[in-house]
Structure 1
Amino acid sequence: GTPSPVQNRAGSRGEGPAVAAAAGMVRQLRGRWPPRALAALAVVGSVEAFYLPGVAPKEYDAGGLVDLKVNKLTSVKTQLPYGYYTLPYCKPTAGIQDSVENLGEILTGDLIENSPYEVKMLVNQTCRMLCRQTLEKHHKDKFRSMIDDDYLVNWIVDNLPAATRYIRKADGGEFVYMNGFPVGFERGGLYYVHNHVKLDLKWHSNPDLYDGYRIVGFEVEPHSMTQATRTDGSQTIAMCDENTATPLFELDSHSEIVFTYDVRWHYSDQRWASRWDNYLK
């Protein structure tokens, strides 16, 4: 079968009973207790509660499944978050499940859920079709509203938030990073949805210190395109290259939307301990 991620050397990936119990209490008391009291509750009662998954590095086998999780849709313009599946994005076939990993995510109010994206360590993919969705009028209205309000899509891989890289010309072409990526964009009164993404993942390894591979970077390059599709037996295959896909997916010109993605893995000299540096620039 498919190799599974190697567990943390710090111990099991699952939460201990003290953390699980405290998490349940926090969920019940959120909104009734002040944030400081909830933060104190998160570390009361057991040393186990001090360990938050994600603090210790995780190693993966080649081909091991890497979870891509989704978080809230956010806007600095409205300050009003929405659940990721408020928009007609592709849903997991087994259903949507909460995927919060630690008390910090509970206390900050993150709404982390699973996704249907299939990512495997060191396995590159091109134009992988996720799903085809029907676009009703209310779907289009929601897309337009969120594009007007500059909403961002927020994803997480191995506790790293997705970052979008931009070139800041004022600083001599230096790269800067933004958390998340835009739902889409408006141009000349027309609305375009980002329905294809290139997932750039960076890995590092050190066989002298540990087995397997660590994730040290996660970038997303969003694109808007109208993909061509063809049927191969019972499977629908998308084609995203320039010869078979038009450059942009204009919302009002379509009654369906196809979501696709690429996965590209790159070796990086960056160590796990410094993988947050790009987010702090």
Structure 2
Amino acid sequence: MLRYVYTPLSLLLFFCASLPSNAFYLPGVAPRDYLPNDKVELLVNTYTSRDTAIPYDFYNQQFHNCEPDGGPRTIGESLGSILFGDRLYSSRFDLRMVKDTACNKLCSAPVVVSAEDGAFINQRIKEQYAHNWVVDGLPAGRQVKDSHTLEPYYEIGFPIGTYYKEQDRAVFHNHFDIEILYHNQDAEKYRVVGVLVHPSSILHFSDSTCAKGTLPLTLAEDSETRFEFTYNVYWVPSTKQWGTRWDEYLHVQDPKIHWFSLINSIVVVLFLSGMVAVVLLRVLHRDIARYNAADAEDAQEEFGWKLVHGDVFRPPRGYLWLAVLVGNGAQLAAMAGVTLVFAVLGFLSPSSRGSLSTVMLVFYVFFGSVAGYVSARAYKMWGGEEWKKNVLLTAIFVPGIVFLIYVILNFFLIAAKSSGAVPFGTVVALIAMWFGVSVPLCLVGAYFGFKQPRIDQPVRTNQIPRQIPDLPSYLRPAASVLMAGILPFAAVFIELFFIMSSIWNHRIYYVFGFLGAVGVVLTVTCSEVAVLMCYFQLCAEDYNWWWRSFLASGSSAFYVLLYSVYYYYKMLTFTSFTSGVLYFGYMLIGSGIFFVLTGTIGVVACFVFVRQIYASIKID
């Protein structure tokens, strides 16, 4: 489940914004003041685990949690929150501002757990499932220390129990010490600035002491088990300001790694930039000067990339599909860039649950016009006449594949009886956004794209295609494409680790400044790699560069997919078949989107490069 990024973006502004590590006042998020004895609502979210990708509803009957009188009240969530598994409900916990209470019974009667449900809960304890509560917009957590810096921070969530592997024994937590930090804003006004929960297990309950020294509670798997849910509430004054209350949650375990990632990416860019500079400023400049010296005594016969000037702008095979992919790539690039601008400026904060994913979806839908326009322009440039087919495929093909895979994965969640399954109403809402907003906007964009004059090329295309000579082994399609994809992946793989940790280990990702800088580096790297491979290909008299340039930079997605396999076996402890299917299904979607985005960057960069060099020479 992606958490900012809930989970997988635009220059110096992004880089500068990444320098401060503290939280700041977030636009659109207003603090709430409480008076003494005011009710502070505690909301409950789904159970999640780092050992599995299957969340469970807090009020799943097998957990036997006590419901509020009249049933739990659903808390309205954003579309992004729902898609990524959040299910917020009201609870029976009674929290009153600055009023300590002890030995509170959560249920009106003792809880009776059957043998079957006891086995179910014990299995969830073994899988390290955790509670996810929310108080005044803050997630409840527990205080732990960073193993590297020994600095304390708040880890979101707390376990439902403890599993002792040596004894093969699961202990269930049925008592909660809730510690709420508050700041005295002014006379008689208070704000919540921190929430910690210390769970424990109590076999026998006492109204006076809660019997905290008794034996722990274990749930029998061959008979019924009776127990009480209890809790204490402690209000702790704090000097922490409301504007910095997220500091302990937004903790980077090793911030030096982010800097190493950025430096690594910049080194890759400098290396490529040096190669491009050699090609453009020395070799290519010399070639152009020699080709233009037609009347000079030292003029030489044409060779290399000038020989293919009559074929270099020949429409590629399957140009309809290339136009469709480039249009969708432009749509993804516009969505990613604008979303990161909002994220860096602080409008997409962790306190606004699901805001990042919601904004991404909204921008993606509205940038359907970009997809239609770019696809239409490219298709018309190549002489395409089936404009209806072009528009329809642009609007449906790529999002349709993503939606189909997502729906299939949703059926796996439904079969596992997981709360992460997207409700039918949400699926209908997605379809309505797709066909009610994105498709019409794609049509509008395509209309304006086809209305534009056809893009003229600087050289004419011959009627008869030129024969392509045998290529050296390193320039053959498979080898050149796979080699080219390594460098863009090398520029982003460290930041990719943090994004995947955010998605699959339920951590908050918030260093959007670093992400923006790495996104710029990725764009430059994809462009330079594609241009270099294109130049070498043209020098070998191979003019089929359109698809090759798309695949050269887009092949970095293949390495992202390979890395996801490595991450699965080295970093995750998923054991169930369903969790594996969900993981690889979502990573397949992410890699596919990455392929379309980076491929589009490569083909656009090569198009600009090829137009420039052939516009700079004299053609007889």
TM beyond 0.5: yes
Hey, what's the Cα distance between the residues in 1 that align with 2:215 and 2:143? 20
* SS of residue in 2 equivalent to 1:141: helix
Query: In structure 1, which of residues 237, 249, 261 is the aligned counterpart of residue 217 of structure 2?
Result: 249
Hey, what's the Cα distance between the residues in 2 that align with 1:91 and 1:103? 25
Query: In structure 1, which of residues 93, 101, 120 is the aligned counterpart of residue 96 of structure 2?
Result: 120
Equivalent residue number for residue 110 of structure 1 = 86
Instruction: Please show how residues 88-99 of structure 1 align to structure 2 within 5 Å.
Output: 88-99=64-75
- The structural deviation recorded for 1:238 is 6.4
Equivalent residue number for residue 75 of structure 1 = 49
Instruction: Please show how residues 74-223 of structure 1 align to structure 2 within 5 Å.
Output: 74-86=48-60, 87-100=63-76, 105-106=81-82, 108-131=84-107, 132-168=110-146, 171-172=149-150, 174-187=151-164, 188-207=167-186, 212-223=189-200
Alignment deviations for residues 172-229 of structure 1 (CA, whole Å, 9 cap, x no partner): 4x42321111110122112111100110001112328xx6111000111111112334
CA RMSD in angstroms comes to 2.5
* SS of residue in 2 equivalent to 1:147: helix
Equivalent residue number for residue 271 of structure 1 = 241
* SS of residue in 2 equivalent to 1:246: coil
Stretches of structure 1 that go unaligned for 5 or more consecutive residues are: 1-51, 230-236
- The structural deviation recorded for 1:167 is 3.9
Hey, what's the Cα distance between the residues in 2 that align with 1:100 and 1:222? 28
Q: 1:168 to 1:250 in 2, by over 3 A?
A: farther
Aligned residues: 219
Q: 1:137 to 1:220 in 2, by over 3 A?
A: same
Stretches of structure 2 that go unaligned for 5 or more consecutive residues are: 1-25, 252-620
Hey, what's the Cα distance between the residues in 2 that align with 1:94 and 1:238? 29
Q: Max radius of gyration: which structure?
A: 2
Hey, what's the Cα distance between the residues in 2 that align with 1:158 and 1:256? 32
Hey, what's the Cα distance between the residues in 2 that align with 1:79 and 1:102? 21
Equivalent residue number for residue 40 of structure 1 = none
Equivalent residue number for residue 34 of structure 2 = 60
Equivalent residue number for residue 332 of structure 2 = none
Amino acid corresponding to residue 101 of structure 2 in structure 1: Q
Maintained 8 Å contact 2:113/2:226: yes
Hey, what's the Cα distance between the residues in 2 that align with 1:153 and 1:274? 24
Alignment deviations for residues 85-142 of structure 1 (CA, whole Å, 9 cap, x no partner): 1211121122112013556644544100011000000000111111221010122021
Maintained 8 Å contact 1:54/1:159: no
* SS of residue in 2 equivalent to 1:146: helix
Hey, what's the Cα distance between the residues in 2 that align with 1:71 and 1:262? 20
Hey, what's the Cα distance between the residues in 2 that align with 1:199 and 1:85? 20
Hey, what's the Cα distance between the residues in 1 that align with 2:50 and 2:186? 43
Hey, what's the Cα distance between the residues in 1 that align with 2:240 and 2:51? 34
TM-score w.r.t. the length of structure 1 is 0.71
- The structural deviation recorded for 1:62 is 0.3
* SS of residue in 2 equivalent to 1:262: strand
Kindly indicate which of the two structures has a greater share of residues assigned to helix.
2
Amino acid corresponding to residue 201 of structure 2 in structure 1: S
Hey, what's the Cα distance between the residues in 2 that align with 1:220 and 1:167? 16
Instruction: Please show how residues 222-261 of structure 1 align to structure 2 within 5 Å.
Output: 222-229=199-206, 237=207, 239-242=209-212, 245-252=213-220, 255-261=225-231
Amino acid corresponding to residue 217 of structure 2 in structure 1: F
TM-score w.r.t. the length of structure 2 is 0.33
* SS of residue in 1 equivalent to 2:230: strand
